[in-house]
Amino acid sequence: MIDLILLLVLRMVAYFVNLMRLCLGTILYHCRGHDSALITNYPAFNVAQLPRFNVTCNDCGPPGSTIPDRYTSYAGHGNATFPTFRWTPPPGVNVAEYALVCENPDIPIPGCSQAISIIYNIAANKNQLNDNDVRNAKAPDDTSENIQLRWISDIHDSPYKGPSAILGHGTHRYFFTVIALNAPIQLDRNRPLNKDRFAAQLVGKVVGWGQWHGVVHAG
């Protein structure tokens, strides 16, 4: 009997939490579209005739496609698969490494494009990034030897937990930007790291970029 009561209480709590999320998402519905805060609008990208290159994602489809649940947070906690991205290296430039930034400009925070995943130190001879690569990425403060990829996230404690959308807030867009760099990223491991500090390291190093975007729906 006690177990049944506890179960009912937990279900009621979950119901009211979701109801609050729905109400909040509905109230803030028009707070979206903060494209000016995307990484590509930071000072590092204010370079005349900066080369663009093609980025594709066969796992999700052409740009603007709905991202399948298995690649989002709806796959369950920690179960999201990172979709494979491929790109064509920018012509006529020397690339030292690549970085990939996944961000959401539709989060209901004014002027914010939230980075859910930043993967950097991607080798110059690579032209794709897949789930296995990302799962093996290490945090910036990891001192292990022979680390190839590192990651940062503004909100998560792992390299990739997948996109999501707030209940009642409609469709959210997620931009996956591949950045070609002419010098390695050197981040201070002793300071908290986020998108802004990462972007500051890009100044003078960006020699090209490409982008793919998909959408996630939530009521």
Q: What is the CATH number of the domain that holds 93?
A: 3.90.280.10
Within-domain flag for 173: yes
pLDDT at 188: 75
Question: Nearest to residue 214, comparing CAs of 179, 178, 168, 175?
Answer: 175
Q: Which domain holds residue 40?
A: 31-216
Asked whether residue 2 is domain-assigned, the answer is no
Residue 104 has pLDDT above 90, yes or no: yes
Average pLDDT, the chain: 85
| Alpha-carbon gap, residue 70 to 83, rounded angstroms | 9
Residue 106 counted as domain residue: yes
Q: Is residue 170 part of a domain?
A: yes
- Does 191 or 7 have the greater pLDDT score? 191
Residue 208 near residue 90 (C-beta atoms within 8 A): yes
10 is a domain residue: no
Q: Does pLDDT of 196 surpass 80?
A: yes
Return the percentage of the chain with pLDDT > 90, whole number: 51
The total of structural domains in the chain comes to 1
Mean pLDDT of 78-101: 93
Judged on CB neighbours under 10 Å (0-12, 13-18, 19+), 4 is exposed
Q: In 3D, which of 125, 158, 130 has the Cα closest to residue 142? A: 158
Does some domain include residue 15? no
Which residues have C-beta within 8 Å of that of residue 152, sequence separation ≥ 6?
115, 118, 120, 140, 187, 193, 194, 195, 198
In the predicted structure, residue 118 carries a pLDDT above the cut 80: yes
Q: Is residue 4 part of a domain?
A: no
Q: What percent of the chain has pLDDT over 70?
A: 81
